[in-house]
Structure 1
Amino acid sequence: MKFIYILLFSLSIQFSFAQNDINRLVEKGITYHDAGNYEKAIETYQEALQLNPKSSLVNYEISLSYFHNKDYKKAIKHSDVVIDNDDKHVKAAYITKGSCLDNLGKTKESIKLFKKGIRKFENDGLIYYNLALNHYKLKDFDEAEKVITQGIGVQNNHASSHLLLAYLNYDKSRNVQTLLNLHYFLFLEPNSRRSPQAAGLIKEIMGANVSQDKDKPNTINISLSLPDDDDDFGAAEMMLSMLEASKKLEKNEGKSEDELFIANTDSFFTMMGELKKKKHKGIYWDIYVPFFDDLAKSEFMETYYYHVMQSVNENSTDWLNSHPQEVDALMLWLKSKA
């Protein structure tokens, strides 16, 4: 019996040393990966796999490096090990494998995998997003909208999901819904490479239906084409156009573009809150409208504007830098709502 105890203790020490070596190699591999040296990262992970070929951690990390190195078949091979283990890294392995299948032209197979992933991880917005993105690539826009809407319903802090839904709504000329999507995206991601296009689209939509007569400068034209089955959003779009037209009124002379944009955005958010009724259901009335209505009622609209428009507004950086207390207060408020 004493011999068995000694043997087990010895095996435990060996396993502990091996795990320490694996962790050290993984950290080294991650450093190479983050530096973009995927081949060196793969070599390092292969050393770790010699110590434990079934390690979920190592198989996931090497699959990620193979993916970024565009070796999708090997990435799938190692993702499958993680999926078979069904432990800590399995959710990420589903996403890596599904993305590999899509990049190999097997988008329909990728869709099946993501659907399986959703059944397993029904509250993970990232899997919904990847599934919706595949439907979008196949031009199945209605299914993409259905899936991404479900994903936002279960996890509303995934910025890319709001951006994808914005583009789906924009393609269908749903200006009000698109604005809500874009604003939510920019509150989450105000200054990335994708932010300028989103911010520019907000400004485009705000003035989409309003034009000034060249021959009659005092004449403002409003042109709307509203869907018959969208009464509340149609009314909001009409009011949105009237807000834009009001910028030309005498009372607004001398106001800066920033001041006018803040005032109209505040009015737009307030208007949406007033349109909300008990019968309304869905993410717009459950997530977007309450959030922006609360924002309009807060003291943070000016700070919010400079926050979300910082990628395109040259005044934003200076304003944000000179108002650190307001920025901190907004960030705390946003975190309480996220």
Structure 2
Amino acid sequence: MMKKLILLISLLVTISTVGLHSQTNNAQELIEEGVSLHDEGEYEEAIERYNEALELDSTLINAVYEMSLSYLALKDFENASIYSTDVINSDNEALAIGAYAVKSEALAEMDSVDKAIEILHEGLERFGDDYLLNFNLAINFFKTGDIDKTLQFVKKAIDLDKSHSGAFLLYAYALSDKGLWVQSILSFQMFLLLEPDTRRSKNAFDEMLQLMCIKKSEEPVERSFIQQQMSRRSATEPTDNTPPLSVENGLNRSYVYEAITNSLDSLINSGEEVSEFTTFKTVNMEIMKVLDRESVGPREGIFWTFYIPFFSHIAHSSYYDAFTRYISVSYFPESFEWWEQNPESAINFVMWFENGDDN
């Protein structure tokens, strides 16, 4: 009798364990379905899947995290804040960093930018330096108009991870607003290398052309990260459209401006009709020549040790034409046509950019 009882208990435990595994597997499948629906823009349906998964297993914190993302996408910032808080309070450190970013964005959208900044600082204290937390801090300081703090945290984000295009775009905006227009031009180009063909790429290229004095516009350029449009003009920029020309970070910017104006005058006086793309390519090369010349000798700072060597290497390579086509593909129709007509050259440039000279 005792043996039969033991066998019965063992059988019940086995059945129970199998049932739990089956429920967990079903719940994970529902989460995966929800993620796919979210990626397709079906946010409400995604939330339904996450709720179904939580009914099967209430401990699945990844379902809660994914739900916070879907509520954020729906602009239901109250629920995004609630569910991201649940993730932050959980023991899942891997998801908590993302949850801090979700909660900070939800708070900022509810006009609580100061609270958003506070919660991100909490995340940094808890986890140490992290790209996402620093980047989101930079965004929130940018929204408040604190350019110095924006630069501080976006530079830290870039130091931690140089693979994210958004950080370079925000850096370009902040540098421009600070009056550091030469540095801004190079940061715009780094962004465009990483993200060449989106709507914000086109707007970024437009703003960069204005910094390069190639294009003039009375209308402000639409920017990312903020709801309102902003002019590129900084508070220190003269009103005659001449950019700041003082020596900054060891760079005499009057040399760069002189190279730009001389190049533009030469193109105008050539007697030939010159396209805006050719103007951009020519002016950009002249800027790089000046920066090359000025970088001789011991220099410190990311502008001298990373940006200038990086873009100088491209300028002196056989890929410079492909590079200018690549970063302008969202802006110039002829660049888009070039990429369609020269797929092998396009692929070779991308491979060279990703793998370096050795490959």
SS at match of 2:311: helix
SS in 2 for 1:312: coil
Given the alignment of the two structures, is residue 41 of structure 1 paired with residue 41 of structure 2, yes or no?
no
Count of matched residue pairs? 326
Letter in 1 for 2:346: V
Distance 1:6 1:274, change over 3 A: farther
Residues 152-206 of structure 1, C-alpha deviations (whole Å, 9 max, x = no match): 1221222111111212222233221121111111111111111121111222222
1:135 aligns with 2:130: no
Secondary structure of 1:91's match? helix
| 1:264 aligned onto 2:286 | no
Tell me what 2:263 maps to: 243
Which residue of structure 2 aligns with residue 99 of structure 1? 105
SS of the aligned residue for 1:310 comes to coil
1:1-338 superposed matches below 5 A: 9-83=14-88, 84-120=90-126, 122=128, 124-207=130-213, 225-234=244-253, 235-250=255-270, 253=272, 256-277=275-296, 279-336=298-355
For 2:164, the aligned partner's letter is: H
Deviation at 1:107, TM superposition (A): 1.3
Q: Give the distance between the partners of 2:180 and 2:31, measured in 1 at CA.
A: 47
CA offsets 1:252-310 (integer angstroms, 9 cap, x no match): 84655433432332232243233225542222223321210110121111111111111
Q: Which amino acid aligns with 2:301?
A: G
TM-score normalised to structure 1 length: 0.85
Q: In 2 relative to 1, CA 286–86 (structure 1 residues): closer, same or farther, beyond 3 Å?
A: farther
Structure 2 gaps, min length 5: 217-239
- CA shift in 2, pair 1:115/1:274, >3 Å: farther
Task: Give the superposition deviation at 1:222.
Answer: 10
Paired with 2:143 and 2:306, the residues of 1 have a C-alpha distance of: 26
1:334 deviates by 1.9
Identify if the C-alpha distance between structure 1 residues 224 and 37 changes in structure 2 by more than 3 Å, giving closer, same or farther: closer
Counterpart residue identity of residue 69, structure 2: L
Could you tell me how far 1:44 is from its partner in structure 2?
2.0
In 1: Cα distance, 2:208 partner to 2:283 partner: 12
Partner of 1:194: helix, strand, or coil? helix
Q: CA RMSD in A?
A: 2.9
SS in 1 for 2:75: coil
Partner in structure 2 of residue 217 of structure 1: none
Query: Secondary structure of 2:31's match?
Result: helix
Gaps of 5+ in 1: 211-220
